[in-house]
Structure 1
């Protein structure tokens, strides 16, 4: 009788959930170990402290999620998630309001993070080979005698109804996937097994944000969705206002260089009043808030270079924020988690074609190297903005990245007057097209032309 194949995922956040969808195709049993106890209905939980804030699923991420879970988009809409025509969204870019045009992009589905995670967990539960092991804290990696292969994890479980009832257990698996987020302990676990921990690159612009949910009524209900970008180093404040399920609007304010939005009601409103356009302030000054103000400041960019390790154990994969965490204000996290899972699926399929079923030799190292290349573009996008804050700390951009930063500033100036440049930029932001399209002569000529024109920033009321 053939032995049952088993994969373990550390962490039940979106990266872990999407990875489990992929692993369910390749393994007989998939176990998701999560420290929290999942709520039965959409609700915040301790393991996702940023869930109360604005979340945007980019077009590329929406496409991948629909491939993983056919019909998911319709299910979200049926649960009340608004579908937004991109034409309805006002974007105050670093250079001013973008042109009012019809971008060739799919509608955005707006929802709370709690709703998305709940819907994905529900769909995963339909797979009889996916198992949720809640209340489990992974305390270390198990390895074979020579410590060349990871063989499982040691876990400390809490009882849902009696938290003081704790028991330890060793769980063995053919593949272990760390999707434990920024708090991942894999560097320490590798060191305990005799491996060098990965080098880390960190860039911190000290961006913080605060969010509040409002009832949809009055002036608020007449306000088009709006996103106001910062423009470091000169403009450190920004914000966004978008609808979510339940006839609610979420308002997120943010600031860099430690210019954090306050978490009290009066300070939150005053911060909104100081934004370069009054759109958000006018919408919320008399609106009915239905939650307190919640703040979040864990926004540093951190890249762990597992792909550079001279020695790396078999059967261990690290994905999501456990390997590459971006400043969440740029809305890349959920889409990159989907891309990570898609890459894992491709690597597992190629592994099956290359070796006998169940042979995972070389998979882990190859995956981490491919993942590092995949993260290059979103990482560069995030740090190119954050590196422009005066108080930014950590690694400094190399010459190539600095040139990209300067060129992108010209593109941002050009797009406020040119719908084609704006279209190209949005396609890159939504990861539909590669950044190379922004260097096409038709775009480059308009961008470089900003040097001659001076490309003055636009301030003030939204232009219709």
Structure 2
């Protein structure tokens, strides 16, 4: 009788949930180990501290989620997620007000992160081979007797009804996926079993943001969604105002170079008043807040170079923020989690074609190398923006990157008056098209034409 294949995912974040959907196609059993206990209804939980804040699903991400979970968008809308005409959004770019843009032929759907995660978890439970181990904290990786491969994980489990009741056990697996986010302990665990920790690159612009949810009533109910970009180094403040499910509006204030927005009511509204447009301030100054303001400051960009390790254990892969974490203010995280999942699926399919018997030799290293290339574009975008802040710390852009940044400034100026340039930029931002389209002669001529203007 053939042995049942088993994959373990560390972390029930979005990256972990999407990885579970993919692994369910390739393994007989998939176990998602999450240290939190999932709420029965959409609600924040400790493991996702940024869930209270604005989440934008880029067009590429929306396409991927619909591929993995057909009908998900309609389910979100049925749960109250509002649809938005992209042309209704006012965008104050770093160079000025953008022309009307449509990054997606369809309407945008806005929702809280809590609602999205809850819907995806519900869909995953329809896969009988996907199991959730809630209240479980992974404490280490288990190596095989030769020390060449990961054979499972050690877990400390809490009981939902009696949290003080803790049990420890070892779980064996054919593949372990670390999707535990920025707090990933894999670098430390690798050292414990005789491997090197990966080199890291970090860039911190000391960006922080605060979010408050308001009731949709009065002037706020008639307000158009608005997004005000920061424009470092000269303008460190920005904000946004978007509707979400439950007839609510989510207002977020952001500031870089440690210009953090206050979380108290007076300070939050006053911060909105200082933005370069009064649109958000006018909408919220008399609006009814239905929750306190929450702040978040863990926004540093951190890249762990697992692809550079001279020795890499078999049967281990790292995805999501556990390998590449971006400043959340750029809204790339959920879409990149989807891209990671699709890459995992693609690499597993090729591995199965080459080794129908299920051998995963070489898979982990190959996957991390492919993933490193995949992350290049979103990583470069995030750090190129954050490196503009005067107080930014960490790796600095090289000459080629600085020239690209200067060119992008020209593109941003051009998109304030040219709809085609704006369309091209948004298609790149939403990961529909590669950045190379911004260097097409039709775009470059318009961008370079901004010199001296």
Alignment of 1:23-422 (within 5 A): 23-100=23-100, 102=102, 105-422=105-422
Looking at structure 2, the residues matched to 44 and 336 of structure 1 have their Cα atoms a distance apart, in angstroms, of 21
Looking at structure 2, the residues matched to 200 and 345 of structure 1 have their Cα atoms a distance apart, in angstroms, of 26
The root-mean-square deviation of aligned C-alpha atoms, in Å, is 0.7
Q: Is the 8 A contact 2:59 2:104 kept in 1?
A: no
Q: Is the 8 A contact 1:58 1:108 kept in 2?
A: no
User: Once the two structures are superposed, what CA deviation does each residue of 1:123-152 show, in whole Å capped at 9, x if it has no partner?
Assistant: 000000000000000000001111100000
Say if 1:6 and 1:263 are closer, same or farther in 2 by CA, change over 3 A. Answer: same
Cα drift, residue 102 of structure 1: 5.0
Match for residue 457 of structure 1? none
Looking at structure 2, the residues matched to 353 and 401 of structure 1 have their Cα atoms a distance apart, in angstroms, of 39
- Tell me the secondary structure at the aligned position of residue 23 of structure 2: helix
Looking at structure 1, the residues matched to 305 and 401 of structure 2 have their Cα atoms a distance apart, in angstroms, of 18
Structure 1 residue runs without a partner (length 5+): 454-464
Match for residue 17 of structure 1? 17
Say if 1:271 and 1:355 are closer, same or farther in 2 by CA, change over 3 A. Answer: same
Looking at structure 1, the residues matched to 48 and 378 of structure 2 have their Cα atoms a distance apart, in angstroms, of 21
Cα drift, residue 83 of structure 1: 1.2
Say if 1:411 and 1:193 are closer, same or farther in 2 by CA, change over 3 A. Answer: same
Cα drift, residue 357 of structure 1: 2.9
Cα drift, residue 363 of structure 1: 0.5
Say if 1:326 and 1:26 are closer, same or farther in 2 by CA, change over 3 A. Answer: same
Looking at structure 1, the residues matched to 435 and 100 of structure 2 have their Cα atoms a distance apart, in angstroms, of 23
Q: Is the 8 A contact 1:303 1:324 kept in 2?
A: yes
User: Once the two structures are superposed, what CA deviation does each residue of 1:341-394 show, in whole Å capped at 9, x if it has no partner?
Assistant: 000000000001111231101100000000000000000010010000000000
Q: Is the 8 A contact 1:91 1:227 kept in 2?
A: yes
Looking at structure 1, the residues matched to 226 and 443 of structure 2 have their Cα atoms a distance apart, in angstroms, of 25
Looking at structure 1, the residues matched to 101 and 121 of structure 2 have their Cα atoms a distance apart, in angstroms, of 37
Say if 1:103 and 1:301 are closer, same or farther in 2 by CA, change over 3 A. Answer: closer
- Tell me the secondary structure at the aligned position of residue 50 of structure 2: helix
The normalised TM-score by structure 2 is 0.99
Q: Is the 8 A contact 1:198 1:305 kept in 2?
A: yes
Q: Is the 8 A contact 2:204 2:300 kept in 1?
A: yes
Q: Is the 8 A contact 1:177 1:316 kept in 2?
A: yes
Tell me the number of residue pairs that the alignment of Structure 1 and Structure 2 aligns.
Answer: 453
Match for residue 423 of structure 2? 423
Give structure 1 regions of 4+ aligned residues with deviation exceeding 2 angstroms.
Answer: 100-106
User: Once the two structures are superposed, what CA deviation does each residue of 1:259-296 show, in whole Å capped at 9, x if it has no partner?
Assistant: 00001000000000000000000000000000000000
Match for residue 460 of structure 1? none
The normalised TM-score by structure 1 is 0.97
Looking at structure 1, the residues matched to 35 and 399 of structure 2 have their Cα atoms a distance apart, in angstroms, of 42
